[in-house]
Amino acid sequence: TVLTQSPALAVSPGERITISCRASESVSTLMHWYQQKPGQQPTLLIYLASNLESGVPARFSGSGSGTDFTLTIDPVEADDTATYYCQQTWNDPWTFGGGTKLELK
Amino acid sequence: QVKLLQSGAELVKPGASVKLSCKTSGFTFSTSYMSWLKQVPGPSIEWIGWIYAGDGGTNYNQKFEGKATLTVDKSSSTAYMYLSSLTSEDAAVYFCARTYGGSSYFDYWGQGVMVTVSS
């Protein structure tokens, strides 16, 4: 299953942003989102499309089902500079999107 | 708290093999699924496979069948990945990650280990 993400975003702190992830076939709601900062391991933000991982700020939210999914950050903060990946675990093999690099202006 | 501590960076010659380790603590390893992942800049992240520590059962991404072998040592709560016949295509950062049951997301990750393949 190919997951397609827009490659990059540049936004100002305080804005509301959405990062999209489109799957080449249905993944039900088995879509998860990760944040990865340079030189670090990814960390889980959202699981099962819309569930906020413990300890993750409520500024992050997820939605979607089937083939279209969205990660929303509202409001964006400077610390959110990172690459964001979607991942599906409905179809074998589990796959990741190419990542969306978020830069703060 | 949950910790996954991976072994240090590896420099290996083409054609050689390497065994990576992932020592865990802070959770019940014997009833956990552990995955391994590969990250190369640009092509993103690939899932290699998972192993169930309870019985050693495995599920591999077909792409990595024959390349990677996953094992565990329950006595030390450590997961291992053996990579064989290394080529330049295997140079990457490799992560271990705890895999949450049937929903299969990765809730805790190791810090990653860089494998360099060079003569």
What's the pLDDT band for A7 if we cut at 50, 70, 90? confident
- pLDDT value at position B104? 86
Per-residue confidence (pLDDT) for residue B101, from 0 to 100: 79
CA distances from B104 to A37, A79, B57 (A): 22, 27, 15
Write down the pLDDT at residue B102.
67
B63-92 mean pLDDT? 97
- The token duo for B107 is 């809730």
Count CB atoms within 10 A of the CB of residue A70. Answer: 17
What's the average model confidence in pLDDT over A60-76? Answer: 98
Query: Across the interface, which of B47, B63, B111 has its CB nearest the CB of A41?
Result: B111
Residue type, A44: L
The per-residue pLDDT for range A27-55, each reduced to its tens digit, is: 999 999 999 999 999 999 999 999 999 99
- Predicted pLDDT of residue A10: 95
SS3 B84: coil
Question: Alpha carbon of B86 to those of A3, B59, B65, B116: distances in Å?
Answer: 28, 21, 14, 10
With an 8 Å Cβ cutoff, are B105 and A48 in contact?
A: yes
Contact flag B47-A96 (C-beta cutoff 8 Å): yes
